[in-house]
Homo-oligomer: A and B are copies of this chain.
């Protein structure tokens, strides 16, 4: 019984911290997006392309989550945006407490849109509210069209599903219709966009969605 009590206390304190983070973001009118996927689905590449396309008009900031390295943060920092790195020291997800500690690294008066790139993991990050407004999941084509049905917990909470690396569709077996049907079976209002961070195909829809978020928040 003690075990359960400790766990529920940890979860409760993490929920409180998520609310605290959310209040801070609301105070500055900043939409916050938690990006989640398997390792190597293209989270950092998506952020790079997004900053390159929108960075002149929208002030983007990025919080990078990673087990041990700062490679992703280094890639993002080359684009002259505010970026900070959380190293989880082997832990499999970000939580609201880790995020809260990292927020002091940002000047939120100069941020219009905030991304949190979670640890590459299609299981554990699902259970942790970081204080975000939106959850975006990436699945890349070579991972296979069965990922949604096999990892349903994370996709049940997914607002936007980006099917990335569609440039590889000619070279692998992937049934797009089955993939989308299984996603909508799990969450009928899930927004699905097909993109390639390599060729740029489909990214205009993603950029349009982000612009709408930011303009709504600034009204």
Selected interface stretch from A108-116, A143-151, A187-195: A143-151
Please tell me which one of the listed residues B40, B68, B152 contacts residue A144 in the complex, with CB atoms under 8 A apart. Answer: B40
Pairwise interchain contact B69-A149, C-beta atoms closer than 8 A:
yes
The smallest C-beta distance from A13 to any residue of chain B, in angstroms, reads: 13
When C-beta atoms are compared, the residue in chain B nearest to A170 turns out to be B171
- Report how far A161 CA is from B121 CA in the complex, Å: 19
The smallest C-beta distance from A155 to any residue of chain B, in angstroms, reads: 11
Instruction: Give the size of the chain A interface in residues (CB under 8 angstroms).
Output: 37
Which residues of the other chain, B, contact A3 by a CB distance below 8 angstroms?
6
Q: Mark A32-74, 1 if CB is under 8 A from B, else 0.
A: 0000001111000000000000000000000000111101000
The smallest C-beta distance from A89 to any residue of chain B, in angstroms, reads: 10
Pairwise interchain contact A39-B151, C-beta atoms closer than 8 A:
yes
Q: Which residues in chain A, 190-209, are within 8 Å of chain B measured between CB atoms?
A: 198
Given the contacts A6-B3, A123-B124, A147 and B40 also touching, CB distance less than 8 Å: yes
In the complex, whether A16 has a CB less than 8 A from a CB of chain B is no
Residues of A within 8 A of B (CB): 2-3, 6, 38-41, 66-69, 71, 90, 92, 119-124, 140, 142-144, 146-147, 149-153, 165, 167-168, 171-172, 198
